Every structure is written in C-alpha cells, then in structure tokens.
Amino acid sequence: MAKHSRREREQRAREAERVREIDAAWIGSLPAATLKEFTTAVEAARARGPQPRQPDMAPGTRPQPPRPGREPRPPKEERTRRPRD
C-alpha cells in the first residue's frame, strides 16, 4: 500500500466531493421518468454482477502450433534402478 501525502489525500477528497456534486446536479436535471428508468437499469446491472471473461479466440479458430524448437517435452518414462531378470 502506498503512502500518500496529506495534500494529495485532501486533493482526492476535494475531487471526490466535486464529482458527487456534479453527479447530484446531473441527476437533478433529469426528468422523473428518465430518472426512474436510469435507476432501475443501474440496480439491475449491479444485481447482475460482472460479465464472464470473453474467450481470447473466436469460436472455431484453431490454435496456432508452437514455434519450432518450442514444442513441449514428451513425458519421461519411469525406469527402475535394477533391471528385472
């Protein structure tokens, strides 16, 4: 965790307060029907939670083979110390 100076903490607090003021003014400027629709959409999004991560590749795309010399090693065969007769 980083330690911030008192001036930096105060500046962040002022910025956060200013953002809250702007947000309240914007919400106050909305018509009642739009405000209700917006709040229900926000509540639904928060209840839904984060979306699952999208796959890195498009569906049906074959993965690229490894570059020459970078192939994975084959598994080693286990050998006993003494050969069985």
pLDDT tens profile 13-26: 999 999 999 999 99
Distance from C-alpha of 7 to C-alpha of 19, rounded to nearest angstrom:
18
Residue 30 vs residue 73, higher pLDDT = 30
Find the angle CA(7)-CA(10)-CA(13) to the nearest 5 degrees.
150
Residue 50 vs residue 63, higher pLDDT = 50
Helix (H) / strand (E) containing 2? none
Share of the chain above pLDDT 90, in %: 55
Distance from C-alpha of 22 to C-alpha of 15, rounded to nearest angstrom:
11
Using CA atoms, how far residue 60 sits from 54, 55, 67, in Å, is 14, 12, 21
Confidence band, pLDDT 50/70/90 cuts, at residue 41: very high
Whole-prediction pTM value?
Answer: 0.50
Residue 82 has pLDDT above 80, yes or no: no
